[in-house]
């Protein structure tokens, strides 16, 4: 006879033992996570992401990366990213982080650095659903924001190669 433990019983046991439940989350790379198959995103509001607001810059991806995030308004935060190499814009991103169904989702679109031609189809976005929140850490699927100091933000991005293998790109932003 196989005994099946209900998820709420596992959560209760984890809370009693003082451990965070890990049965719903898997590592993608050292610092990024994803929800296990069939799991729903946790509940959260934009208050959990307030630490990313600001104007940030970093040396990354062979150039200079700039990222700007606005304060939350009307259930969403707005962001913009650009990568510049050798004084030439490589690409841009337009981002939103918004509340959806009691959780958070980050959506973005890429644009070519010279022509502003969109990389994604007109009605498509790249989506990162919430995986978890800790104080000063926001885990989205394959993307982690970590507040690493009063004027420091480290972003970890899981990138998949054509062979299906993941590697981690790290952005060590400092507030401008």
Closest CA to 96 of 81, 104, 108, 82: 108
Domain ranges for the chain: 22-175
**Residue range 58-68: average pLDDT?**
98
Give the model confidence (pLDDT) of 91-122 as tens digits.
999 999 999 999 999 999 999 999 999 999 99
Region 77-102: mean pLDDT is 98
**What is the residue whose two structure tokens read 């054509």?**
162
Separation in Å, CA 42 to CA 38, 90, 134, 160: 13, 35, 12, 25
* CATH topology assigned to domain 22-175: Lipocalin (2.40.128)
pLDDT digits (tens, 9 = 90+) for 25-42: 899 999 999 999 999 999
24 or 100, which is more confident? 100
Question: In angstroms, how far is CA 38 from the centroid of its own chain?
Answer: 20
pLDDT of residue 24: 76
């Amino acid at each position: 006879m196989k005994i099946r433990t209900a998820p709420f019983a596992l959560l209760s046991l984890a809370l009693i033992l003082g451990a965070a439940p890990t049965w719903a989350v898997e590592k993608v790379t050292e610092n990024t996570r994803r929800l296990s198959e069939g799991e729903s995103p946790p509940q959260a509001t934009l208050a959990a992401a307030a630490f990313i607001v600001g104007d940030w810059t970093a040396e990354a991806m062979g150039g200079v990366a700039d990222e700007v995030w606005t304060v939350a308004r009307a259930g969403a935060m707005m962001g913009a990213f650009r990568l510049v190499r050798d004084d030439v814009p490589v690409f841009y991103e337009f981002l939103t982080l918004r509340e959806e169904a009691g959780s958070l989702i980050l959506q973005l679109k890429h644009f070519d650095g010279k022509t502003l031609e969109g990389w994604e189809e007109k009605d498509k976005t790249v989506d990162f659903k919430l995986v978890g929140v800790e104080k000063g850490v926001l885990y989205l699927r394959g993307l982690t924001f970590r507040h690493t100091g009063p004027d420091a933000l480290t972003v970890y991005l899981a990138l998949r190669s054509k062979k299906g293998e993941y590697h981690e790109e790290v952005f060590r932003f400092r507030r401008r």
